[in-house]
Amino acid sequence: MIKDQVVKCLLCDLSKNRINAVPGNGNITDKVMIIGEAPGKNEDLIGVPFVGSAGKILDKALQEGGLERNDVYITNVVKCRPPNNRVPTDNEIQICTSKYLKNEITLISPKVICILGATALKSLLGFEHMSKYRGKIINVEPHRYFITYHPAATLYNTKLKQVFFEDIHKLSSIIKADTYTMDRYFS
């Protein structure tokens, strides 16, 4: 299992400073995958993604959108905490995504992949401009992506937080829609 490989991974230097590697977690049957950047301090301590302050915002936004954490699968671009929460390097991203994230996506085959923040956007789609894609659903075969801010970016910015909550609400409506309606959302 990918989880077993992640917890003992030594493929890059991030493994040297971690307490725990943080594998993806959640429901693989409802086929909604949410992808963040990298574990932070709390995630490193516990070994579960999005359990700190950004996770609380994400949970609340999901709840307000009528979704529970149990309805989605949550993972990160890299599975170990970068020192001082720095942005993961291109090399770390390349190693971790080619070994783990790509396999998670292939195995789960999500109906929608929700990208949280600029690092995940760049890592998955090679796109640089969050503002251009935020709130949009884009079809990059063979997957459909919904793009929004990273919840940590909304911590001290009420405006961004409101937009984030609206985006997650939109995501929730999309995934609750039937296939016909859903197809109309996607370009």
Residue with CB nearest ligand URA? 36
Smallest distance from the beta carbon of 55 to ligand URA, in angstroms?
Answer: 6
Q: Is 167 in the site for ligand URA (CB under 6 A)?
A: no
Show Cβ contacts of residue 73 under 8 Å, excluding neighbours closer than 6 positions.
24, 25, 26, 27, 28, 30, 32, 33, 34, 104, 108, 110
Q: Is 50 in the site for ligand URA (CB under 6 A)?
A: yes
Give exposure, 103-127, as e/b (b: 16+ Cβ within 10 Å).
ebbeebebebbbbbbbbbbbbbbeb
How far apart are alpha carbons 185 and 58 in whole angstroms? 23
* Closer residue to ligand URA in complex, CB, 34/108: 34
Among 14, 21, 23, 37, binds ligand URA (CB under 6 A): 37
The amino acid at 80: C
Q: Is 24 in the site for ligand URA (CB under 6 A)?
A: no
* Closer residue to ligand URA in complex, CB, 156/180: 156
* Binding region for ligand URA (CB under 6 A): 36-40, 43, 49-50, 52, 54-55, 76, 152
